[in-house]
Structure 1
Amino acid sequence: MAGEVSRTPVSPTSPGFLSRSRTVAPPAWSRWLVPPAALSVHLAIGQAYAWSVFKPPLESSLGLTGTASALPFQLGIVMLGLSAAFGGTLVERKGPRWAMFVSMTCFSSGFLLSALGVATRNYWLVVLGYGLVGGIGLGIGYISPVSTLIKWFPDRPGMATGIAIMGFGGGALIASPWSSQMLDAFGTGTDGIAKAFLVHGLVYAVFMSVGVLLVRVPPDGWLPRGWTPAKAAARPLITTADVSARNAIRTPQFWCLWIVLCFNVTAGIGILEKAAPMIRDFFSATATPVAAGAAAGFVALLSLANMTGRIVWSSTSDLIGRKNMYRVYLGAGALFYLVIALAGNSSKPLFIICALGILSFYGGGFATVPAYLKDLFGTYQVGAIHGRLLTAWSIAGVLGPLIVNAIADAGKAAGRSGPTLYTTSLYIMIGLLVVGFLANELIRPVNPVHHERPAGALTRPEPPLATSQGDAR
């Protein structure tokens, strides 16, 4: 783009502790220290997936509907996508330490505001704190290690991002039982919920500071020993060229992948946000209804599947390719939803197995997408491109819970119960996954006209400015 003189985003040299220049790794630094730094942030912000544990006590203590109690979570996901999209380029320039610090500050502050809101019975403060402020922490924290990890692990990008992003999926594995225990100890009234939010905010601030202190970026030109980009470029859809974030959003590949991510997330997040009440509703009229504690355990189990899918499936994508991996996510996911819809409440194990499969694909889709972007657009501004792609998550974060909650609320108002509250939602999810599958099939290599060119190369005119290119790596 016009005015660019370097292909590697570098912030002005600053003596500040958070500056990018202070995070360049020394020669003896081990790249395997970076995934734990990313995990410390992602395990914390992954608490968002345990929001359903707070839904029933909030609804009973503040008189909320299921749709209303989902608002903080929905706004948080919206802000995740928006802050990632608008802050992606800034994160690339400022570096991961700055980004992790901003994430820690916003995410923890969101819990503290939520605690104040519940204590004073001002639900709008919960929406503002957890949703708006905390959501900014979610978005900045989510993308903070992605570009760094891909640059440290260009030989295994799926595995590297899977290790870190599995922390986001696994956050609820810690937060769900922890939150339930705090509610048992403090109570499920407003005072108890406020205390639980307060503890969350303080503990997560300490936990996330580990990543702030530990993270490093590789020196310019660093490559793993014995690995060259040419080895990876021999595989389909993988390029050694680079595409800027500005040019990436002009390609059909970006928007096809946007649809893929949006609909895969919608299908998974609809279950996840409603997980605890959903399993109780499904089997309420059977001989073995699900108790509140067991429902919280189900949320934790889904979190385990979400977390495991992120590392297992994203690592598998390094072997079979990203496009094939998404064929599995979308195609098999649609089949799992169909089984749940047809089986109803006839088999609790079958319901749980299918839900676990859906959530493993949901998590795997998140962990695989940064590597898919790297394959298509290169490493130049992959973090910024990833941030823009996460606007799909913003839409899905509203769409999934809205579909499931609104249809379930309408069903309850009409006197329905059990699986019939969710049948329509399940078939909608199947349709969305099929559309995502077709969008994935349309993805092809990026046209070279969108590639960055070495310094001094002739450029294609782009009125009113010409596109100049950065230094060759």
Structure 2
Amino acid sequence: MSVSIAAEPGFFSRERTIAAPSFNRWLVPPAALAIHLCIGMAYGFSVFWLPLSRAIGITQPITCPADMGFLASLVATGCDWKISQLGWMYTLFFVLLGCSAAIWGGWLERAGPRKAGLVSAFCWCGGLLISALGVYLHQLWMLWLGSGVIGGIGLGLGYISPVSTLIKWFPDRRGMATGMAIMGFGGGAMIGAPLADWLMRQFATATSVGVWQTFVAMAAIYSVFMVAGALGYRVPRDGWKPAGWTPPVMSRSAMVSSKNVDLDVACRTPQFWLIWAALCLNVSAGIGVIGMASPMLQEMFGGKLIGLDIPFGSLDATQKAQIAAIAAGFTGLLSLCNIGGRFLWATSSDRLGRKLTFAIFFTLGFALYAAVPTLAGYGTTLFFVLAIGVIISMYGGGFATVPAYLADMFGTRMVGAIHGRLLTAWATAGILGPVLVNYLREHQLASGLPNAQAYNQTMYILAGLLVLGMICNLLVRPVASRHHMAEEKESLVAARPEAHASLADTPTAEPTTSPVLVALAWAAVGLPLAAGVLITLQKVAILLH
């Protein structure tokens, strides 16, 4: 007689993250924020470029020989790196983010958010340590491999790890839930960049710019927050729903489906590719403006920023330094608009609907992009700054709203994996947007146009991209019933160990988790975010003054 003993699920398995009946769902968003605020430092990595460009010379860069080849520059130890070489880390971040999210999104759904979050922490923090060694040994390839490639993989897994979990915990407020988490990715640089600047000043010596020590310190700090966030993830048992919430009755033409679509099937539907194109076009336009926001303000307004009716090209070095400080405040304001838009637009989409929200992005965005040259021509910064601020809020809002859009279309079962594949649109836009804006600007200047008019044609072309995005969004229709998962397959998915608990165990009253624990969890992520916002507001005050 043989006795079979079921293996105990491992600590990192999805089954071990099933929430107890007393669990409070409001503990999940701060867990997601703990990870997103750390990996969001990818947006702030430019704070390292100047110090790294003089890592050997310390006070002044030591230029490499003009005849040095590409491979030789990767291992050269006697001369400093160019900022253009370091900038490839930024490109690798977002290309690898999209690719890793697409490749491992399906694994994430099976493994659960805890394991994915821990792998993300290992890759992001481990990448920083490899980069620190690369700075210490002065090996450029180690920076590309460490933060660029390995860190980029960590970005992808960390970015999508909370999406499907939050949507399952907040079926009544999908947009708000994903907006809270993805808001953290936009705000990570507001915390990380000032922290990195402060650390580099503390570690700097006569023989070191303090970057490798800063990488090590930030890896240690981020590992604490990311591991805590990953271990804080919980998933609801199958069939769970918020107390007192009744799913709305859906009509056949409704844009919100209660049925699930398999990952590979979803990626073959026209709805997936229409939403992919809509996100890509929205992000291409927005990221192009973000990348050139500071020089755009300076070149369009020139001396008017400091009360002088002088074009940008006629300013002296002191005057250019003054308007550069004002432009830094403008960049900080756009950071606030980015993170605020992620939460506000995503939350609004719960009432407006996802398709209408994207329609607003494209309609209002088209009007604002087309109006920017005219607003700049008036010579006053107020309306120009307001227009760009709203544009960037919709850029961030698109990122935060699209996971809920996918859940509406394809159900919640595989939404994390589907979202991962959709993020290839981000990788595409990360190349298309900046290249389009930069090359058009150079073409306009080469044609003899003054700096103040170099962006006019660019704005009109970006407005045209939004028209294409508007058409794609208008073509989105409910997914045909033939694409829905068969009942047998859904029942097999539901038969996983975490679904074994009976629905009778599902809480019918409000969760009983201690409010103190919830408050502490939110304080752990809220206080650093508030500090970052305060520092940014101080920079914005220069612009408003």
Q: In 2, Cα distance between the equivalents of 1:97 and 1:50?
A: 26
| Residue 222 of structure 1 pairs with residue 222 of structure 2 | no
CA distance in 2, matches of 1:472, 1:117: 45
Aligned amino acid, residue 285 of structure 2: A
Q: Which amino acid aligns with 2:40?
A: G
1:122: Cα distance to partner?
Answer: 3.5
Give the paired residue count. 449
Alpha-carbon offset, residue 40 of structure 1: 0.4
Deviation at 1:42, TM superposition (A): 0.9
How many Å separate the matches in 2 of 1:298 and 1:114? 30
Maintained 8 Å contact 1:173/1:301:
no
Is 1:173 the counterpart of 2:205 in the alignment? no
Summarize deviations over 1:81-114 as a string: whole Å, max 9, x none: 1111111110001110101111111111222233
- Cα pair distance change 1:39/1:469, threshold 3 Å: closer
Mapped partners of 1:129, 1:342: distance in 2: 45
Structure 2 residue aligned with 1:369: 402
Aligned to 1:150: 167
Q: In 2, are the aligned partners of 1:53 and 1:296 still within 8 Å (CA)?
A: no
Counterpart selection for 1:300 from 329, 332, 342:
332
Three-state SS of the structure 1 residue aligned to 2:374 is helix
Deviates more, 1:26-35 or 1:431-440: 431-440
Match of 1:113 among 111, 114, 130: 130
Q: Does 1:253 align with 2:271?
A: yes
The Cα shift of 1:267 comes to: 1.5
Give the structure 1 partner of residue 413 of structure 2: 380
CA distance in 2, matches of 1:190, 1:348: 41
Task: Give the counterpart letter for 1:262 in structure 2.
Answer: C
Q: Secondary structure at the match of 1:191?
A: coil
Question: Which residue does 2:147 correspond to in 1?
Answer: 130
Q: Does 1:93 align with 2:110?
A: yes
| Whole-angstrom distance in 2 between the partners of 1:340 and 1:407 | 16
- Paired position in structure 2 for 1:272: 290
| Unpaired stretches in structure 1, ≥5 consecutive residues | 1-11, 456-467
Residues of 1 paired with 2:441 and 2:135: CA distance? 25
Q: How does 1:7-406 map to 2 (within 5 A)?
A: 15-55=9-49, 61=61, 62=80, 64=82, 68-183=85-200, 191-231=209-249, 236-286=254-304, 288=306, 289=320, 290=322, 293-344=325-376, 346-406=379-439
What amino acid is the match of 1:200? M
Q: TM-score, normalised by structure 1?
A: 0.86
Aligned mates of 2:221, 2:410 — CA distance in 1: 38
Q: Which runs of 5+ in 2 are unaligned?
A: 1-5, 55-60, 62-79, 307-319, 495-545
Larger Rg: 2
Distance 1:104 1:469, change over 3 A: closer
Partner of 2:524: none
Amino acid at match of 2:425: A
Q: Is the 8 A contact 2:256 2:409 kept in 1?
A: yes
CA distance in 2, matches of 1:360, 1:323: 17
TM-score, L = length of structure 2 = 0.75
Distance 1:157 1:415 in 2: 50
* Contact 1:256–1:443 (8 Å) recurs in 2: yes
Q: Measured at CA, do residues 35 and 390 of structure 1 come closer, stay the same or move farther in structure 2, by a change above 3 Å?
A: same
Match of 2:316 in 1: none
Asked if the contact 1:310/1:368 (under 8 Å) is kept, the reply is yes
Structure 1 distance, partners of 2:224, 2:110, is 25
Could you tell me which amino acid in structure 2 is paired with residue 430 of structure 1?
A: A
The secondary structure found in structure 1 opposite 2:209 is helix
Measured after TM superposition, the shift of residue 333 of structure 1 is 1.8
Match of 2:474 in 1: 441
Computed over aligned residues only, the root mean square deviation of the Cα atoms, in angstroms, reads 2.9
Are the counterparts in 2 of residues 268 and 359 from structure 1 also a CA contact under 8 Å?
yes
Q: Is the CA contact (8 Å cut-off) linking 1:37 and 1:211 kept in structure 2?
A: yes
Letter of the 1:17 counterpart: F
Structure 1 residue 18: Cα displacement: 1.6
Structure 1 residue matching 2:487: 3-state secondary structure: coil
Contact 1:179 1:196 in 2 (8 A): yes
| Aligned AA (1:36) | P
- Rounded to whole Å, the distance in 2 between the matches of 1:361 and 1:72 is 26
Q: For the residues of structure 2 that align with 1:192 and 1:330, how far apart are their CA atoms?
A: 44
Q: Which moved more, 1:331-340 or 1:291-300?
A: 291-300
Distance 2:364 2:52 in 1: 35
Identity %, equivalent residues: 47
Q: Give the direction of change, closer, same or farther, for the CA distance of 1:197–1:330 in structure 2 (3 Å limit).
A: farther
Verify the 8 A CA contact 2:52 2:209 in the aligned structure 1.
no
CA contact (8 A) 2:167 2:178 kept: yes
Give the conservation status (yes or no) of the 8 Å contact 1:23–1:216: yes
Q: Compute the displacement of 1:420 (Å).
A: 4.3
**Residues 180/352 of structure 1: CA separation in 2 closer, same or farther (3 Å cut):** farther
Counterpart code for 2:359:
R
**Structure 1 residues 179 and 31, CA, compared in 2 at 3 Å: closer, same or farther?**
same
Cα distance in 2, alignment partners of residues 344 and 56 from structure 1: 31
Residue 293 of structure 1: how far off its partner (Å): 5.0
- Is the 1:452–1:470 Cα contact (8 Å) retained in structure 2? no
Aligned residues of 1:110 and 1:134 also touching (Cα < 8 A): yes
CA contact (8 A) 2:29 2:180 kept: yes
Deviations 1:251-290 (A, max 9, x none): 1000000001111111122233444455445555545255
